[in-house]
Amino acid sequence: MVKGTTDQYLGITAIQFNACQYFYDITAINLDWLEAIGYSMDMSKLYPVRVVTEGFEELNDNIFFGEGNFTFEEMNDMLRKFTENDPDGNGIDDTYGMMYILPNSSTTMTQEGLFGFAYDVNYLYKDKVTGDTVPYYAYTPYKDYLQWVSENLQKGYMKKLPGEQAWNLEYQQISRTNKMGILQCHRDGYLRPTTWGYGELPPTNILLNTDPDARFVMGPMFRGPEGVATDATYGIDPFGEGLYRCHMVGVQVSDEKLIRLLTLLQYTSFESEYTHLRYNYGIEGIHWRWEGEPYKSVRIQTPDEELPEEYRNQGELHVFSTWAYFSTADFETYNAVENGWWSAPAYMYAYNLYEKYALNPDKYLSSPYMGPDLYQKYVEMNAEYTQTINPIVNDFRNRALNGQISDFNTEWAHYIEQLYAAGLQKMVDEIFNNPDFINYDPGDKFKLRGRP
Ligand SMILES: [Ca+2]
């Protein structure tokens, strides 16, 4: 506790560039189908994946990385032709463009990011029509997005999940059948088909179960109606807003012990890449090994069951480290360019595409940008008005997805009136438009590429 205060503390916060440069999703297109409907990509500009997990090298011929630069019109043409033109050539009307998934971290690049917004309600945008700073649900491009989805659902170019189980379980089962041309994918789960259920995610689930010869191209593929193409970072603030993963030291710890503690943390977290790896990932040659040249190639992790009994403690390796993780951009780029370890993140890093495609909101609802008092006021107002705003938001979205809105412009104007009357006006005036709430600035978070 800071001397002379009752509510202020000193601690060591997280620095997590792995989270703030982490874009969860990537778009994939079935490359064979793309060619079947008359499109193509310059294969000389695509990079084939190199799967990290031993025994899955056959996947290296099936997944490629590239930048699509397809226009919104071309995307819509593909959605139609993937549905109507029998792209798999089996003579059966059994394929469609893509699955529509309620916005979440897996959908941004492929769906709502094309309209310049993401699922995160803490992101705020300056609306060109009202001039107000608002959450996505009151942002005019959200209307265009819902109209786009609604029309594609009506035509059958997009399909909805059944909605009986968790969305990700349903999506895993349906995507495995290989009936859709455009897929919302995990950034690099295909590298590790045996880890964390990644083998159940598309396109790996298709390649392992349904069609081992299918080919997919992954990357930023499409642009939206205004030429926009964005993806949202998983953790917008490398310091976690100081809210979590903050190491606290009790007042009963003597200065002598604190010095010892900080010395240990300095050594294990900041001294060198060697000590960082040693105290976060274990002992080289036991817990992991370099695939090639040390510090320049990927690390191959030893499965827990193959470790000698006394070393099976990988979950506890973080005891003497801070949550300090630096950018791996230079490492991944080198590893791909020099050693061929291509993945979607490596491709994005190598061509500086994360910075190019990062979705930067105009404002971000978080205490550091607002000050604690304004943030507290927001928390209280939000708790009060959520109850009146949410039903309006849900009703409009459900009617759009169910094809019950024919005139989006008229109904949107009415919807916005309802939202503002339900408390949004007050939140816009007192919080969102408030000049004390400073604009979000990504700073150098997408420019930093290694350890400081
Ligand atoms: Ca077919």
User: For position 101, which CATH number holds?
Assistant: 3.40.190
User: Is 441 a member of any domain?
Assistant: no
> Within 114-210, where are the H helices?
140-155, 167-175, 204-209
Contact at 8 Å (CB) between 447 and 408?
Answer: no
Residues contacting residue 314 through CB under 8 Å, at least 6 positions apart: 281, 282, 287, 304, 307
Whole-number Å distance, alpha carbon 313 to ligand 1 midpoint, is: 49
Whole-number Å distance, alpha carbon 98 to ligand 1 midpoint, is: 14
- DSSP, collapsed to helix, strand or coil, labels residue 90 as coil
Whole-number Å distance, alpha carbon 37 to ligand 1 midpoint, is: 12
Confidence (pLDDT) at 243: 67
Last residue of a domain, one of 219, 245, 266: 219
Whole-number Å distance, alpha carbon 179 to ligand 1 midpoint, is: 8
Confidence (pLDDT) at 110: 98
Confidence (pLDDT) at 270: 83
Q: How many domains does the chain have?
A: 2
Contact at 8 Å (CB) between 364 and 232?
Answer: no
Whole-number Å distance, alpha carbon 60 to ligand 1 midpoint, is: 26
Whole-number Å distance, alpha carbon 108 to ligand 1 midpoint, is: 28
Confidence (pLDDT) at 423: 97
Whole-number Å distance, alpha carbon 199 to ligand 1 midpoint, is: 25
Confidence (pLDDT) at 323: 79
Last residue of a domain, one of 173, 194, 219: 219
User: Is 299 a member of any domain?
Assistant: no
User: Is 288 a member of any domain?
Assistant: no
Whole-number Å distance, alpha carbon 112 to ligand 1 midpoint, is: 28
Contact at 8 Å (CB) between 115 and 108?
Answer: no
Confidence (pLDDT) at 339: 87
Confidence (pLDDT) at 392: 98
Whole-number Å distance, alpha carbon 107 to ligand 1 midpoint, is: 25
User: Is 320 a member of any domain?
Assistant: no
pTM over 0.85: yes
Location of structure tokens 């005036």:
429
User: Is 330 a member of any domain?
Assistant: no
Whole-number Å distance, alpha carbon 209 to ligand 1 midpoint, is: 18
Whole-number Å distance, alpha carbon 140 to ligand 1 midpoint, is: 37
Confidence (pLDDT) at 235: 87
Whole-number Å distance, alpha carbon 207 to ligand 1 midpoint, is: 18
Integer-rounded Cα Rg, in Å, for the chain is 24
Whole-number Å distance, alpha carbon 82 to ligand 1 midpoint, is: 9
Q: Which of 14, 12, 26, 23 is nearest to 236 (CA)?
A: 23
Whole-number Å distance, alpha carbon 32 to ligand 1 midpoint, is: 13
Whole-number Å distance, alpha carbon 92 to ligand 1 midpoint, is: 4
d(CA 199, CA 207): 9
Whole-number Å distance, alpha carbon 87 to ligand 1 midpoint, is: 6
Whole-number Å distance, alpha carbon 34 to ligand 1 midpoint, is: 14
Q: Which of 234, 28, 233, 230 is nearest to 113 (CA)?
A: 230
Contact at 8 Å (CB) between 71 and 223?
Answer: yes
Whole-number Å distance, alpha carbon 301 to ligand 1 midpoint, is: 41
User: Is 241 a member of any domain?
Assistant: no
Whole-number Å distance, alpha carbon 120 to ligand 1 midpoint, is: 36
User: Is 33 a member of any domain?
Assistant: yes
Please list, residue by residue across 418-437, b when 16 or more beta carbons sit within 10 angstroms of its beta carbon and e when fewer do. Answer: bbbebbbeebbeebbbbeeb
Confidence (pLDDT) at 316: 65
Whole-number Å distance, alpha carbon 47 to ligand 1 midpoint, is: 28
Whole-number Å distance, alpha carbon 46 to ligand 1 midpoint, is: 27
Mind listing the pLDDT tens digit of every residue in the chain (452 residues)? 778 888 777 778 778 888 889 999 999 999 999 999 999 999 999 999 999 888 899 999 999 999 999 999 999 999 999 999 999 999 999 999 999 999 999 999 999 999 999 999 999 999 999 999 999 999 999 999 999 999 999 999 999 999 999 999 999 999 999 999 999 999 999 999 988 899 999 999 999 999 999 999 999 999 999 999 999 998 898 887 766 677 778 888 899 999 998 898 888 888 888 888 888 888 999 989 988 888 877 888 888 888 888 888 755 677 777 778 889 899 899 999 998 999 999 999 999 999 999 999 999 999 889 998 999 999 999 999 999 999 999 999 999 999 999 999 999 999 999 999 999 999 999 999 999 999 999 999 999 998 76
d(CA 50, CA 35): 23
Confidence (pLDDT) at 360: 97
Whole-number Å distance, alpha carbon 36 to ligand 1 midpoint, is: 11
Whole-number Å distance, alpha carbon 99 to ligand 1 midpoint, is: 16
Confidence (pLDDT) at 314: 57
Range of the domain at 134: 17-219
Whole-number Å distance, alpha carbon 70 to ligand 1 midpoint, is: 24
Q: What DSSP character marks residue 440?
A: P
Confidence (pLDDT) at 242: 67
User: Is 359 a member of any domain?
Assistant: no
∠ at Cα 410 (409, 411), nearest 5°? 95
Whole-number Å distance, alpha carbon 90 to ligand 1 midpoint, is: 5
